[in-house]
Amino acid sequence: MLPAVTLVMLLAALVHLFVAVYNRYLLGITDSWWKPWIHLVWFVVSVAAPATATIWLLGEGMGPVREALTWSPFTHAGKALFVVMGLLIAFFGVRLLIWFEERVFPERPTGLISERVSEAVVPSVTPTLPRGLRRLETTSDLLVTEREIAVAGLAPAFDGLTIAHVADIHFGQRLEMENYFDGVRNVVAGLDADIIVLTGDFVDTRRDISRAIEYHAGFRGRIGTFYVMGNHDYWTNAKRLREGFERTHLRWLGGGDRRILKRMGRRLIFTGTDAPWDGVWRPDFRRLVRRETGDAVVLLSHTPDNAPAAARNGASLVLSGHNHGGQICLPVLGPMIVPSRYGLRYAGGLYRVGADGLLNVSRGIGASSGKIRVLCRPEICLLTLRAPVVPVMAGRVITARAILKPTENAGEEGVMGY
């Protein structure tokens, strides 16, 4: 029993350490100066203490445990150790219960008005897993997740604006995936979104860059198509990729540029960041997402780890990818690979960040390392933005959309531009 508990704790601690080390020391992102101590304490509590105790108890032939159970006065060190072990197991048990509770009763973030998930028909890729396990493979089982969300600060003039959020295509490597990628682009085109955002990880290898540029240029939002770069783009060749995209209609926001939609005297601001892979470890979010006029700001960031700081400084909506929904998800255990300093928290979905910000993390289209998804379906997100609810006289509450007279809506689409 005790060695088994130690093994489980060891596994949990190693996953935690991997995520911590990967983010802090390889990616160079950190929340605050005391974070490393948390990882150290976690490691000691989860591994070092129970491992030492297990080895010691086994060496003693479980004698101290039997002795502790007789509940004689505290004279033997084994009893104290047994109590400590009990507390550690209880601590781990409580964590496990919280972990299950989060999965069985996922939090529905305030701001989510409705959600609809539908199947998308795209050419499938050749399975990687052997025949007996193929039911688990979801590499090309594309879904469209439609979310209607109330966005803080959104002017009624933009109520109903749609954003198709496409992330982590990871173009290339497996050639037969190109049919699947073409299918993805057709599905996005069919959504007829006002804005298309591409949140990075376009390509994995240098030889695929030209084809990747050509492929991504096929995404065209009715008003605009914006993008930021991901870690794989920087590891491949971000400069070449960006130069290629500059010759298309795609607009890079990763350097903090702003694209502003104007309508009926109000503004909706789109901006972005490539941090931390562009070398900026701590972006100046106060400048990046400032809301001088109180208008809503949408931030594109490949990693969702930038979202809490962005929301604290005024971002109304952050659009991210990077975590792939875990990419490999096991039954009960859930997401296995989440390269985030927040662990599993932002694996994929819609989240509340800061006081009134929202974060949409797309599970993405493709897959990195191994090009396989297990029990983790790729997705395109279609977001419909809604202005927050406005209270009116006589105790009635109506949405901002209803306040607009039909004549004010009619013919305004053409005015919308930047």
List residues near Fe ion by CB under 5 A.
168, 201
Q: In angstroms, give the least distance from the CB of 260 to Fe ion.
A: 28
Q: How far is the CB of 19 from Fe ion (least distance, A)?
A: 15
Residue (313 or 362) nearer to Fe ion, CB: 362
Question: Taking the complex as a whole, how short is the minimal distance between the CB of residue 303 and Fe ion, in angstroms?
Answer: 10
What are the residues whose beta carbons fall under 8 Å from the beta carbon of 202, sequence distance 6 or more? 169, 170, 171, 212, 216, 227, 229, 230, 232, 233, 241
Can you tell me which residue has the tokens 């900026």? 280
| Widest Cα–Cα separation across the chain | 85
Residue 411 zone, left/alpha/beta (φ > 0; ψ -120 to 50; rest): left
Tokens 């819609």: give the residue.
Answer: 350
Strand, coil or helix: 14: helix
Kind and range of the H or E element at 308? helix 307-312
**Cα–Cα dist 308/151, whole Å:** 16
- 246 φ, ψ (degrees, to nearest 5): -60, -25
CB 347 to Fe ion: min, Å: 13
Cβ closest to Fe ion, residue 137 vs residue 168: 168
Question: For residue 388, what is the DSSP state?
Answer: P
Nearer to Fe ion, 143 or 264 (CB): 143
Looking at the Cβ atoms of 145 and 199, the one nearer to Fe ion is 199
Taking CA 202 as the corner, what is the angle to CA 255 and CA 374, rounded to the nearest 5 degrees? 130
221 contact partners, CB below 8 Å, separation of at least 6: 164, 193, 194, 195, 196
Task: Give the shortest CB-365-to-Fe ion separation in angstroms.
Answer: 9
Comparison of 224 and 304: residue with beta carbon closer to Fe ion:
304
Which is nearer to Fe ion, 185 or 267 (by Cβ)?
185
In the complex, least distance from residue 321 CB atom to Fe ion, rounded to whole angstroms:
6
Cβ-based burial of 272 (10 A; exposed 0-12, middle 13-18, buried ≥19): buried
| DSSP 3-state percent helix, strand, coil across the chain (nearest 5) | 40, 20, 40
Amino acid identity of 295?
D
Task: Return the number of the residue (168 or 305) whose C-beta is nearest Fe ion.
Answer: 168
CB of 367 to Fe ion, least distance (A): 8
Q: Min. distance of Cβ 216 from Fe ion in angstroms?
A: 14
What are the beta bridge partners of residue 260?
A: 269
Amino acid code (one letter) for 57: L
Closer residue to Fe ion in complex, CB, 194/201: 201
For residue 378, give the 3-state DSSP assignment. coil
Give the closest residue to 166 by CA, choosing from 118, 204, 198.
198
CB of 48 to Fe ion, least distance (A): 33
Name which of 201 and 274 has its Cβ closer to Fe ion. Answer: 201
